Chains A and B, each alone.
Chain A
Amino acid sequence: MPSREPARSHPYPGALIVVEGIDGSGKSTQLKLLRRHLEAQGYSILFTEWNSSALVRDTMKVGKKKNLLTPTTFSLLHATDFADRYYYGILPALKAGMIVLADRYVYTAFARDTVRGVEADWVRNLYRFAAKPDLALYFEVPIDVSLDRLMTARARIKYHEAGMDLGLASNTIESFRIFQGRVLDEYARIADEHGLEVVDATTSIEAQQRDVRRLADRVLEEKRALRRIPA
């Protein structure tokens, strides 16, 4: 059986910082603010987002629209997307001494795919090639808070975001509550298993950002070979 051990620390000069959390946890806002903070210090940065590679974009889109995806193929396509971004972006950037900021990382797959009924060990093995982050921040937030934020921001919850593919409820909001509630439970387990830094995402944006910057600065202090853009 493949090991469930978290990956070992990577040997590269760069730094890998990732944010995790359910939709509406505010993690993207926090990562954007951290990026400004690091750019202001002249660091060379690579930013990468979950499910954004051109390789599988059309397949994912058609698969979602035509309902062709199963939990397993959904999981494998996300892994393909990740591997594409990892080998052509994240890994070269780490080797080049850049700071990689990832909006979602392997833990998103661990949480979501497990809730979709994919075996926990199987999905951990699937992502075994990925380096362990130097800092993984988990933005913890109750369902109601994230739901409020999402409803205010765009008034419509997406089909897969609500886990509608699982047939948990016919109502999107109700399905979102059940699905994301289960994802939260998984995240809690994962945070423990992989040592994610938990940030209370119900406090003010400024207070969270202070914590985030403190944690990031501490990690970066130990990285002597980080590349900076000449002033």
Chain B
Amino acid sequence: MSPDAMRPRRGLPRVAREETPGKLIVIEGTDGVGRSTQIERLAPWIETRGHAVVQTGWNRSLLVSKLITSAKEGTLLNKVTYTLLYATDFADRLERVVIPALKAGMVVVADRYVGTALARGAVRGVDRAWMQGIYAFAPEPDLTIQMRLGVDALLLRTLDRTRLNYWESGMDQHMGEDIYDSFIEYQGRMISEYDRLAEARGWKVVDAARSIAATQLEIRRIVAPLLGIPGDRIGLEPPPSPDA
């Protein structure tokens, strides 16, 4: 099919989930909490159990991911354009990846979803009803898992791996004297927002402070019933962690 034939000629429809045979699994959580490490291990395990997996993640759209990355290098964005560009990225991935995969009966594993948009918006003082209206087209996940780490542990884990990052420290919001203070304040508020969403929306919360393998096992235990995977298959190939 030509790209033109594949392109929707209507606006994004509200997808009735009962009409899509696929499953949507969302992993939420702050920057640096270990989402992608866990998804790297989760996806092949789901495939081993015989389900087709499609992955999607924040800012991976063909259309605007480069623009978002370059705009964040400067000081071009205000909180409204920041919100709208991420919404564009999200809509593009929904139309090209998520909705087609759900209709085709695949398992979509999303690294961040609407929750991240709402949490970032809330911390930046963006009108909540406005954002919820924009994201109203998002299909409901079948399961959302919040990976949770307290802000002090998060800081240590981040510094263990890399330097602090301007945006991940909320420096655009002038939240502290220096990047350390800002990180603590910003990520602390992000964790609170995720907690609020988890409570309101019935997310499963996973303690991300434990080893990669232990966390992976817990995530698999939560995912298994949704996909009808028997409990004795949880620790099987591929192993929860290379060093497990």
Contacts and interface: CB of A to CB of B under 8 A. Distances in A.
B133 A126 contact: yes
Interface string B116-156: 00000000000101101110110000000000000000000
A116 B9 CA distance: 7
B84 A80 contact: yes
Interface in B71-115: 71, 76-78, 80-81, 84-85, 87-88, 91-92, 95
B84 A76 contact: yes
Nearest to A62: B63
A92 to B, nearest CB: 12
The B interface, classified by DSSP as helix, strand, loop or mixed, is helix
A126 B134 contact: yes
Nearest to B62: A68
Contact of A166 (B9, B78, B134): B9
Q: How large is the interface on B (under 10, 10 to 19, 20 to 34, 35 or more residues)?
A: 20 to 34
B3 A76 contact: no
A66 B80 CA distance: 27
B130 to A, nearest CB: 6
Contacts of A113: 11
Interface stretch (A52-60, A135-143, A186-194): A52-60
A2 B63 CA distance: 27
B11 A72 contact: yes
Contacts of B161: none
Interface residues of A, number: 39
Contacts, number: 103
B64 interface: yes
B201 interface: no
B64 A125 contact: no
Interface in B176-229: none
Interface string A104-120: 00000000010011110
Nearest to A66: B3
B86 to A, nearest CB: 10
A15 B234 CA distance: 65
Contacts of B4: 67
A73 B91 contact: yes
A125 B133 contact: yes
A69 B92 CA distance: 8
Interface of A: 1-2, 55-56, 58-59, 63, 66-73, 75-77, 79-80, 83-84, 86-88, 113, 116-119, 121-122, 125-126, 128-129, 165-167
Given A59-B64, A125-B134, 18 more contacts: A2-B133, A55-B77, A58-B67, A59-B67, A70-B95, A72-B91, A73-B91, A73-B92, A76-B84, A76-B88, A77-B64, A80-B84, A83-B80, A117-B9, A118-B11, A122-B137, A128-B127, A165-B9
